[in-house]
Amino acid sequence: MLPPITIGASTAVLDLPLPATETVNGAQPKPRVRRTRPTLAAPAINHHAAMPLDEHGSNRQAELFYLQKQIQLQTQMVFILEDKSRIQGVIEWYDRNSIKVRGKSRVLIYKSSIKYLYKAGEQGSHSD
């Protein structure tokens, strides 16, 4: 008897009925051997959202309101980035992942690279 073969996560064993000991043309038939047939596990189905869920979903609406207000008032803003660089200017537009700032030059800033921001007339509350 052959041992079952494992492929993937599961193995199927086929139990075939053994034939009766009849002779065919005067010769003894060969006994059937138990055979295994590997079964492949069903492929895993992964569902991914089109965009990653925002960790701070409750703050999303407040962020949108704040940015829209600063655009309408054309408020001078200061952006402190994760690499400690400083960008000053007026927000032209924003989307889910970035903010376009018009200052000495026009700059597109990824939101993920912003450590914090404040109005230019205010003193930065964080010290580095």
**What residues contact residue 47 under an 8 Å CB cut-off, 6+ apart?**
none
Q: 71 and 36 in one domain?
A: no
Number of domains the chain is built from? 2
Query: Does residue 112 belong to any structural domain of this protein?
Result: yes
pTM of the predicted structure, to 2 decimals: 0.52
**What is the end-to-end Cα distance of the chain in Å, rounded?**
74
Q: What is the C-alpha separation between 102 and 123, in angstroms, rounded? A: 20
Tell the residue number behind the tokens 């930065």, with chain if given.
124
Q: Give the domain range for residue 1.
A: 1-17+28-41
* pLDDT tens-digit profile, the chain (128 residues): 555 555 555 555 555 555 555 555 667 777 777 777 776 665 555 544 444 555 566 788 899 999 999 999 999 999 999 999 999 999 999 999 999 999 999 999 999 999 999 999 877 555 55
